[in-house]
A and B are shown apart, each in its own frame.
Chain A
Amino acid sequence: MTALTIKNATVPGRLAAVDLDLPRGVLVGLVGPNGSGKSTLLQVAAGILPIDGSVAWSGREVDGIPPLERGRMTNWVPQEARFEFGFSVRSVIAQARYAHGDDNAGIEEALARFDLGSLAERPVNRLSGGERMRVLLARAFATGAGLHLWDEPLAPLDVKHGLEILVLARRLADGNRTIVLSLHDLRVAHCLDIVVVMHAGTVRAVGAPDEVLMADLLLEVFGVRARTAPGLILELP
């Protein structure tokens, strides 16, 4: 069963006739140089950027899905959270349940999972960049959506919280949810189920990391030489 189907998606100057098909229950890494269209593709997949072409979630055309139901099916997390107003961390996470009639289900679990319990009553506009990203991810988690589209969630996080997010994303994928996250660290991308490589507004390659992240492609797309070698290994205790 497909989770996300994008057909012929075009955004002038940013995305050129992109096709993409992702199954359920996978952890997907979206990689590519700066300006290659990763954020645009995620916004297109989330149905928040109008395009030429079509987007479907679980086989349903997004254009035909009413707004509230969209909120229950998919969640998009922006690269950077600009919070202008001092809502508490708890109340921002509780916004996840807007599409569920504000039932407040799973808020406490989300606070705990993202290590935000001690910050629950703190105004979000006084948090650090990494803390703000954890709030956004906790809100995404609390939606219970089947398709998650996260724009560089690891970039502002410290090592431990970054690893925790990956572990959690893995667990969500094992629970038959699809997580797509854009990232720059190809070594992290190498540990995911599927890698999508973007280049100049197109999808250059899709597949298992071993098949996709090959030396010649990396040289062509990123302009770097790749080889495997032992290095520093970090894991959660």
Chain B
Amino acid sequence: MSARAGAWLLPGATLALVIVVIASLAVGDMALAPARVVDGLMRRDDLAATIIWQIRLPRIVVAMLVGGALAASGVVMQAYFRNNLASPGLLGVSAGGSAGAVVAIGLGFAGTSLLIIPATAIIGALAATGAVLVLARRGASTERLLLAGVALNALLGAVTSYVLSNFTLTYERNAQVLFWLLGGLEDRTWEHAAMAAPIVLAAAALWPLGRPMDLLSLGAAEAQSLGVDVRRLQRTMIALSTVLTALATAVAGTVGFVGLIVPHLLRMLAGPEHKRLVPLALIGGAAFVLACDLIARSAGNVRLGIVTSLIGGPFFLWLLRKQT
């Protein structure tokens, strides 16, 4: 891919994002004409203003944060493990975050503070990341990584099932648990957007890592020999990718495959250089999840996690076929 063609990608992705945002503002149970969207945004029309400011805009913001976070997290994990099949979902990091949140709900802590769920999601995701690091320590071959991911996903699924089956849950808590399992953006409020807002900080912290991540993605020892502070870089990458995944999971549950297919597609289009890949993943991931959510809403309120998996599953199989 030539640099000149690549130069269109960032503006192109941004334009796509803007279009999906506008569509997401207009489409819904009550369709709004473009003029009414503008009136609603300007608060000149009470009903439209309520729909947009109370319902659609917070959902859009959360969707963008979640999509950007998962895609960027995928890019970082792929560079870290030097394997383009590594992603928060496949490795079990999303499931770890989800299990953390579900346990907090099951134990009845979740209601005590808005920070409980993000905190437990981060703890769960960090524990899962630690387990992956141990299981796939020496050379992260595709087989080892995927097997580690399968084992972890099964283990964490058992934790979640245990909470579901052995805790006497109220109907409300049961619904909350199911929400995390299926992943979705229903009823997201500005509070959820605020909860996920640190995603912006984590994404900004990724900015200066682009160049050293290039070197690391071709080999840790080689990168060290070329002057990269590999240990520090790896620690930062793991911390940031885990926090990104955990925050996304804390507000939207398990949304599968975003961290796998968005980085992959973008790498095919823009090449492997992380200085371009990271911002593209943030914007492309936001556009992808928002578009999937639009499909989910238009298809009669299908859960977001189902839509991303319906798109991501076949893509993943195609990827595996292509690799062999």
Residues of chain A whose beta carbon lies under 8 Å from any beta carbon of chain B = 43, 46-48, 67-72, 74-76, 78, 81-88, 91-92, 95-96, 98-99, 102, 124, 136, 139, 143
Are B227 and A87 in contact, CB atoms less than 8 angstroms apart? no
Are A85 and B226 in contact, CB atoms less than 8 angstroms apart? no
Given known contacts A48-B221, A83-B218, A91-B273, A98 and B226 CB-to-CB distance under 8 angstroms: yes
Instruction: Tell me which residues across on chain B come within 8 A of A82, comparing CB atoms.
Output: 82, 219
Min CB distance A60 to B, Å, is: 15
Are A98 and B217 in contact, CB atoms less than 8 angstroms apart? no
Select from chain A the residue with minimum beta-carbon distance to B212.
A98
Q: Mark B37-55, 1 if CB is under 8 A from A, else 0.
A: 0000000000000000000
Partner among A48, A68, A84 whose Cβ is within 8 Å of the Cβ of B218: A84
Instruction: Tell me which residues across on chain B come within 8 A of A47, comparing CB atoms.
Output: 224
* Cα A162 to Cα B249 with chains together (Å): 53
Contacts A48-B224, A85-B218 known; 11 new A-B pairs at CB < 8 A:
A47-B224, A48-B225, A67-B229, A70-B227, A71-B226, A76-B222, A85-B82, A86-B267, A87-B218, A99-B227, A102-B211
B272 at the interface (CB under 8 A from A): yes
B271 at the interface (CB under 8 A from A): yes
Are A98 and B211 in contact, CB atoms less than 8 angstroms apart? yes
Are B226 and A78 in contact, CB atoms less than 8 angstroms apart? no
Are A85 and B221 in contact, CB atoms less than 8 angstroms apart? no
Inter-chain CB contacts under 8 Å: number: 78
Given known contacts A85-B267, A86-B272, A71 and B228 CB-to-CB distance under 8 angstroms: yes
Min CB distance A98 to B, Å, is: 5
Q: Which of B211, B227, B271 has the most CB of A within 10 A?
A: B227
Given known contacts A84-B84, A85-B218, A92-B218, A71 and B211 CB-to-CB distance under 8 angstroms: no
* Cα A84 to Cα B83 with chains together (Å): 7
Instruction: Tell me which residues across on chain B come within 8 A of A81, comparing CB atoms.
Output: 218-219
Min CB distance B278 to A, Å, is: 14
What are the nearest 3 A-B pairs in CB distance?
A71-B227, A99-B227, A85-B272
Instruction: Tell me which residues across on chain B come within 8 A of A86, comparing CB atoms.
Output: 267, 271-272
Instruction: Tell me which residues across on chain B come within 8 A of A70, comparing CB atoms.
Output: 224-225, 227
Are B273 and A98 in contact, CB atoms less than 8 angstroms apart? no
Min CB distance B221 to A, Å, is: 5
Are B222 and A78 in contact, CB atoms less than 8 angstroms apart? yes
Min CB distance A76 to B, Å, is: 4
Instruction: Tell me which residues across on chain B come within 8 A of A95, comparing CB atoms.
Output: 214-215, 218, 226
Min CB distance B81 to A, Å, is: 9
* Cα A81 to Cα B219 with chains together (Å): 8
Select from chain B the residue with minimum beta-carbon distance to A84.
B82
* Cα A87 to Cα B221 with chains together (Å): 18
* Cα A71 to Cα B218 with chains together (Å): 16
Partner among B212, B214, B226, B271 whose Cβ is within 8 Å of the Cβ of A96: B226
Are A85 and B217 in contact, CB atoms less than 8 angstroms apart? yes
Instruction: Tell me which residues across on chain B come within 8 A of A143, comparing CB atoms.
Output: 226
Partner among B228, B267, B272 whose Cβ is within 8 Å of the Cβ of A98: B228
Instruction: Tell me which residues across on chain B come within 8 A of A124, comparing CB atoms.
Output: 218
Given known contacts A84-B84, A84-B217, A92-B218, A76 and B225 CB-to-CB distance under 8 angstroms: yes
Given known contacts A84-B84, A85-B84, A98-B212, A78 and B219 CB-to-CB distance under 8 angstroms: yes
Given known contacts A46-B225, A48-B225, A98-B227, A87 and B211 CB-to-CB distance under 8 angstroms: no
Min CB distance A54 to B, Å, is: 18
Min CB distance B26 to A, Å, is: 39
Give me 22 A-to-B residue pairs in the complex whose CB atoms sit less than 8 angstroms apart, sorted by A's number.
A43-B221, A46-B221, A46-B225, A48-B225, A67-B224, A67-B229, A69-B227, A70-B224, A70-B225, A71-B226, A72-B227, A76-B221, A78-B219, A84-B84, A84-B217, A85-B82, A85-B84, A87-B273, A91-B273, A92-B218, A95-B215, A98-B226
Instruction: Tell me which residues across on chain A come within 8 A of B225, comparing CB atoms.
Output: 46, 48, 70-71, 74-76
Instruction: Tell me which residues across on chain B come within 8 A of A76, comparing CB atoms.
Output: 221-222, 225
Select from chain A the residue with minimum beta-carbon distance to B225.
A76
Instruction: Tell me which residues across on chain B come within 8 A of A78, comparing CB atoms.
Output: 219, 221-222
* Cα A143 to Cα B225 with chains together (Å): 10
Select from chain B the residue with minimum beta-carbon distance to A87.
B272
For residues 272 through 305 of chain B, which have their beta carbon under 8 Å from a beta carbon of chain A? 272-273
Are B224 and A98 in contact, CB atoms less than 8 angstroms apart? no
Select from chain A the residue with minimum beta-carbon distance to B271.
A86
Are B227 and A67 in contact, CB atoms less than 8 angstroms apart? yes
Q: Mark B204-241, 1 if CB is under 8 A from A, else 0.
A: 00000001101101110110111111100000000000
Min CB distance B196 to A, Å, is: 29
Instruction: Tell me which residues across on chain A come within 8 A of B83, comparing CB atoms.
Output: 84
* Cα A47 to Cα B224 with chains together (Å): 9
* Cα A165 to Cα B24 with chains together (Å): 60
Min CB distance A223 to B, Å, is: 31
* Cα A180 to Cα B224 with chains together (Å): 18
Instruction: Tell me which residues across on chain A come within 8 A of B221, comparing CB atoms.
Output: 43, 46, 48, 76, 78
Instruction: Tell me which residues across on chain A come within 8 A of B230, comparing CB atoms.
Output: 67
